[in-house]
């Protein structure tokens, strides 16, 4: 008996159907397959879905839509896109495949999702799938994706990294707190607050004096979150120090109230 249901390839193709009902049916079947596949077959199914997600077409046989539509008014890119390999499946299918890989939390899914982080049309779903993937490869791929340029995507990557562990993750987040893009810095402040590490307070405290009002506001919230994370982890001393610092600062009243409650002052 094959590890992967032979109908999977057909369902993948069917997801590209222009009939919404047909495409939806195929996705539902694949979703059920992904959610109900036994542990022993998970890697094989991840491989089948992943290969389809990153598959390239032979010249002239690809999904086509991206080169024709997105780059219609750019003569240089249009010319280049004729030469470049195109994805075999359209964007909607690739995004769905990335999403399905998120239901398969295994090492085998990570390389494909890492590759899909370079696919402008599927990367957001790939990023989300990597967030659910427990492998070290997933964390490494997300760290590498911080080198992209779109601030919203990068903020999403940081949110995903906040769910990961390890020195490399923390180092990447600390670096992101100094980023040039304010959206990235704000995301990094909240992410750092999720790690019960008292040394992060220096970064957060500094951000309470940032030039951006939104960044200052987020930094105050992040400090309160960090204090709570430390309290929950059992480090009440560090939590207390941060709460005292919040009370002595120009933090908004809600964060001061949280600090008072944390210190037992009602």
Q: List the one residue from 2, 21, 58, 264 that touches another protein (CB under 8 A).
A: 21
Site for another protein, residues 213 to 232, rule: CB under 8 A? 221, 224, 228, 232
Q: Is 192 in the site for another protein (CB under 8 A)?
A: no
Q: Does residue 125 belong to the site contacting another protein (CB under 8 A)?
A: yes
Chosen residue from 66, 89, 94, 159 binding another protein by CB under 8 A: 159
90 membership: H or E segment, kind and range: none
Cα distance between residue 214 and residue 218, in whole Å: 6
257: Cα separation from own chain's centroid: 32
Which residues have C-beta within 8 Å of that of residue 78, sequence separation ≥ 6?
67, 71, 72
Decide whether 81 or 127 has the Cβ nearer to another protein: 127
Judged by DSSP in three states, 61 sits in: coil
Should residue 127 be labelled a site residue for another protein when binding is judged by CB under 8 A? yes
Of 150, 228, 225, 158, nearest to 186 by C-alpha is: 158
First to last CA, the chain: 66
Q: Is 103 in the site for another protein (CB under 8 A)?
A: yes
Q: Interface residues with another protein (CB under 8 A)?
A: 20-21, 24-25, 28-29, 32, 35-36, 39, 99, 102-105, 124-125, 127-129, 131-132, 134, 152-153, 155-157, 159-160, 162, 183, 187, 190, 221, 224, 228, 232, 252-255, 257-258, 261-262
């Amino acid at each position: 008996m094959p590890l992967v249901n032979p109908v999977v390839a057909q369902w993948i193709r069917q997801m590209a159907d222009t009939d919404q009902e047909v495409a939806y049916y195929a996705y539902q079947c694949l979703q059920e397959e992904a959610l109900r596949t036994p542990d022993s077959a998970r890697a094989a199914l991840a491989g089948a879905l992943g290969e389809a997600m990153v598959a390239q077409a032979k010249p002239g046989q690809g999904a086509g839509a991206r080169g024709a539509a997105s780059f219609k008014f750019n003569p240089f890119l249009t010319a280049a896109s004729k030469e470049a390999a195109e994805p075999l499946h359209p964007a909607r299918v690739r995004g769905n495949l990335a999403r399905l890989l998120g239901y398969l939390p295994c090492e085998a899914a990570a390389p494909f999702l890492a590759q899909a982080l370079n696919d402008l049309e599927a990367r957001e779903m790939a990023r989300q799938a990597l967030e659910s993937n427990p492998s070290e490869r997933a964390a490494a791929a997300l760290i590498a994706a911080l080198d992209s340029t779109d601030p919203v995507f990068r903020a999403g990557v940081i949110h995903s990294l906040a769910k990961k562990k390890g020195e490399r993750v923390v180092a990447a987040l600390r670096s992101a707190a100094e980023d040039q893009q304010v959206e990235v810095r704000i995301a990094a402040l909240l992410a750092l607050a999720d790690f019960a590490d008292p040394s992060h307070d220096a970064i957060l405290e500094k951000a309470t004096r940032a030039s951006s009002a939104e960044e200052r506001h987020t930094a105050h919230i992040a400090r309160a979150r960090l204090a709570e994370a430390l309290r929950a982890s059992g480090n009440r001393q560090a939590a207390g120090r941060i709460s005292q610092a919040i009370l002595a600062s120009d933090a908004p009243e809600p964060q001061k109230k949280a600090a008072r409650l944390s210190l037992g002052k009602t």
